[in-house]
Amino acid sequence: MIEALQNRKYLQFFLLVAVFLLLCLLVPQSEGNWLWRLPPLLSQLPIIINNSVDYMMFEWWPIEVYDPDIEEYEQKPLLREITRGISGVVLFLIELVREILLGGVKTIVTFSGWDWATENQWARWPALPWTVVAGGAAILGYALSGIGLAVFVGAACVYIAIFGQWEPSMQTLSFVLIAAPVAILLGLALGVWGYKSKRVEAVLNPLLNVAQIVPHFSYLIPVMVFFGIGDHAGAIATIIFATPPMVRLTILGLKKVPPEVAEAGLMSGCSDWQLLRQVLIPTARRDILIGVNQVIMQCLAMVVIASLIGAKGLGNDLLIALNRLRIGLALEIGICIVLIAIVLDRLSLAWANKQTDYFADQSFRERHKYSLWFLIVFVAGVVLAWLGSFIFREGFNYLYLIPHNKGITTAAFWQAGVDWIWDTFFYSLKGFNEWLIVEVLIPVKNAYLAMPVVATFTLAMGAGFIVGGIRSALIVGFFLLFIALTEWWDRALITSYLVTMAVLISGFIGIVVGTLCAQHAASSRFILTVCDTFQTFPSFIYLIPVMMLFGVTDTSVLIAIVVYSTIPATRYTVEGLRSVPEALHDAASMSGVNRLQRWLSVELPLSFPHMALGINQTVVFALSMVIIGAMIGTDDLGQLILKSLSDKAGVGNGLVLGFCVAFIGLAIDQILRTWANQRKQALGME
C-alpha cells in the first residue's frame, strides 16, 4: 500500500514537471500578460508603511514634555519619547561596560537654578589592564571545563591583545554583554509564557519562523527609524534578532520535563512560581543554556551587520578594511571576531554541560577559590601595569592597554600572500570564474527569469499539494502571491536562483561527507566538531577568502553560500544515519546486502526525515548568506534591502523586501517540513 502511494506521488511529480515545462514554453513574455507577470498591486504597501511609521513617530499621541533648550513645555509624540528613552538606557549600559573595560568618565546633568546643562562628574576609573581580563577569562574557562579550555581562552585573549585589537574587541564585547542578557531574559520570559499557554505558543510559532528567515538587514531599518543610529540601535536590532532561538529552546526544554517531576513539585506544596523557578527551569537547564549559547552566537553574527547603523568595534573596523580592499587587515580582524565567537561558544557550552554537586560539603575557601584566584590575578595585573608605566615611559604601556593597531601585525604578510596567489593562479582563477559565470550561472539565472508566474505557481503549489494536500498548496500559494504582487518578482527569482544552486551543491556535499563520516564513531565526532566550529564563525567572515580569490562576482557569493550552507546538511546527515538502530544494520548485513545496498535500502529511508530537516536548514542558511552577499555585489533582493538602509523612506521597502525573502524560505519550509513529518509517521517515528 505504502509503495503504491509512493509510486503514485512519483507519477504526480513527473506530470507536474511536464506541465511546468509546457507552460514555460507556451506562455508569451509580454507586458500586461497576467500569466507572465502579475500586476504590482502591492507596490503602494511600502508607502503606506512609511506614512504609518511617520505618523506614529511624529504625530501619534502627543504629550507635554519640558524642553530645557527653549525652557518651556512642548508637544512631543509618546512613541518617540519612549523609544528615545529606551535608546538612552541601552546606550548608558553599553558605555558603562565599555568604560569599565577601557576606562572613562561619567557625568550627569543636574538642575541648578534655571540651568539644566550643569554637568557633574560622578565616576572616573582607569581601564582594566588587559592582563586582568585575560587572566579572569582563563580562570572562568578552568572553572567550567578544566585546563584545556583555560589555556585556549587565555591564548585567545593574548592573541587579541598583542595584535593591537584589544580596544575594538572590548567595544564588541561590551555590545554583546548587554545585548545577550536582554535577549536571554526576553526569550526566557516568552518561552515560559508559550509553555504555559497553547494559544500563545500558536501565535509565537509563525512569528519565530518568520524571524528566523528575515534577513539581518531588515532588522536594522525599522530600528534605525525608531531608535536612531549608534551602539544602542545596533544592540536593539541584535536583541530582536537573537531572541527567537532562546524562545524555541526554552519551550522545548520545558516540554521535555517529565510529567512526574512537575507532579512531585506540586505534591510538595510548590506554588506556580516556585514550581517554575525551583523545578521546571532547573530540570530544563541544559536546553535553556544551549539557548543561551545560541543567543551569544546570534549576537556575534550581528556584529558586522550592526556596524552599518553605527555600532562600534571589530565589525566597523572590518567593514572599513574591506571597503579599502585591505584584505590582510580584514583577515586579522576577522580572526579576532572568530576567536571571540569560539571563546564565548565554548564557555557557554561548558556552562550548559557542567554538573553542579548540590550535596558537596566544602569550606569557605573551596567554595570561593576561583574568586580568590581572580583577586590575585587582579592585584598582579594592576602591579604589572604600574611597573609598565616605568618600563615603557617613552612609549605605550604594553602591560596596561595596547592601543588600537599599535601591536604586532601580519597584515602585510597576508596581503603579500593574497597577491602571490592572485599573481600565480590568476589565469586559472580567472578562467574558472569566467567559465562558471558564463556557462553556468548566467544560463541558470536567465532560465529563472524566463519562468512565467503561472508556471512558477503551478510548480510550487503542485509540489505543496502532492506533499501535504490542499492546505500546504494554499499556504505556499499565499507566500508566492505576496511576492508576485510586489514590484520585485524578478529580483526574487534571482535570489531563488542563487539559493537553488547553493542548496543543490551544499546538499550533495553534505550528504556525501556526512554519509562517509557516519560510518565510524571517531569520524562522526570529528565532522560534528568541524561543523560546530564553522557554525561558530560569523557568516560575514566567509566572504573574505572568496573575495580574495574571485573578486566581487556571483562566484564569490555562491562559494561563500555553499561553504556556509553545507554545515547543516552535513550535521543532519550524520545525526540521521547515526540514529538508525544497530540491530537494523545487523539485520541488513545478515540478509546478504553490501554496504551500498544497506545505505540505499535501510539507512537512507530511515534517516530521510533528519536529512530533509537538514536541507530545510540549508535553505535558511543559504537565504541568510545570499542577502549578506549583497555587500559584495549581487542584483537580488539583498541589494535592494542594503540600499534601503541609506534611503530616508526605506523602512517600508526594507520590511516588504524582508518579508519577500522570508516568504521564499517559508514556502520551501512548508513543503520540506510536511514531507519530513509524513516520512516520520510512515516509519513510526511519531
How many other CB atoms are there within 10 angstroms of residue 365's CB atom? Answer: 8
pLDDT tens readout for residues 464-505: 999 888 999 999 999 999 999 999 999 999 999 989 999 999
3-class SS shares of the chain: helix, strand, coil, % to 5: 75, 5, 20
CA 633, CA 542: separation in Å to the nearest integer? 15
- The single-letter code of the amino acid at 482 is F
DSSP β-ladder status, 72-77 and 104-112: unpaired
Write out the three cell numbers for 474. 494554499
CA 297, CA 179: separation in Å to the nearest integer? 11
How many other CB atoms are there within 10 angstroms of residue 310's CB atom? Answer: 15
- Cα distance from N-terminal residue to C-terminal residue, the chain: 19
Which among 68, 76, 75 is positioned nearest to 110, based on CA atoms?
Answer: 68
- The pLDDT of residue 85 is 85
How many other CB atoms are there within 10 angstroms of residue 551's CB atom? Answer: 16
pTM: 0.82
Write out the three cell numbers for 197. 499557554
How many other CB atoms are there within 10 angstroms of residue 367's CB atom? Answer: 10
Which among 449, 243, 98 is positioned nearest to 441, based on CA atoms?
Answer: 449
How many other CB atoms are there within 10 angstroms of residue 174's CB atom? Answer: 24
Query: Which H helix or E strand runs over 63?
Result: strand 62-67
Write out the three cell numbers for 160. 587579541
* Dihedral sign computed on CA atoms, order 390, 391, 393, 397: negative
Answer left, alpha or beta for residue 636, where phi above 0 means left and psi between -120 and 50 means alpha: beta
Query: Which H helix or E strand runs over 66?
Result: strand 62-67
- The pLDDT of residue 307 is 84
Helix (H, G, I), strand (E, B) or coil at 519: coil
Query: Which H helix or E strand runs over 198?
Result: helix 198-213
CA 443, CA 501: separation in Å to the nearest integer? 12
CA 259, CA 262: separation in Å to the nearest integer? 5
Number of alpha carbons in the 13 Å side-chain half-sphere of residue 618: 32
Give the gyration radius of the chain's Cα atoms: 28
Which among 84, 85, 109, 108 is positioned nearest to 96, based on CA atoms?
Answer: 108
For helices 650-682 and 198-213, the axis angle rounded to 10 degrees is 110
DSSP β-ladder status, 72-77 and 62-67: antiparallel
Taking 50 as the pLDDT cut, the residues of the chain under it are: 109-118
* Residues 551 and 592: beta-carbon distance below 8 Å: no
- The pLDDT of residue 346 is 86
pLDDT tens readout for residues 429-442: 888 888 988 898 89
Domains along the chain with CATH numbers: 2-48+425-682 (1.10.3720.10), 66-125 (no CATH), 130-424 (1.10.3720.10)
555's CB contacts (< 8 A; 6+ apart) are 432, 433, 436, 437, 441, 546
* Residues 36 and 453: beta-carbon distance below 8 Å: yes
CA 327, CA 623: separation in Å to the nearest integer? 25
- The pLDDT of residue 310 is 81
Query: Which H helix or E strand runs over 317?
Result: helix 314-323
Q: What are phi and psi of 72, to 5 degrees?
A: -160, 170
Which among 368, 195, 410, 155 is positioned nearest to 281, based on CA atoms?
Answer: 195
- The single-letter code of the amino acid at 606 is L
627's CB contacts (< 8 A; 6+ apart) are 215, 216, 217, 636, 637, 638, 641, 661
Write out the three cell numbers for 183. 535577549
- The single-letter code of the amino acid at 463 is A
- The pLDDT of residue 111 is 40
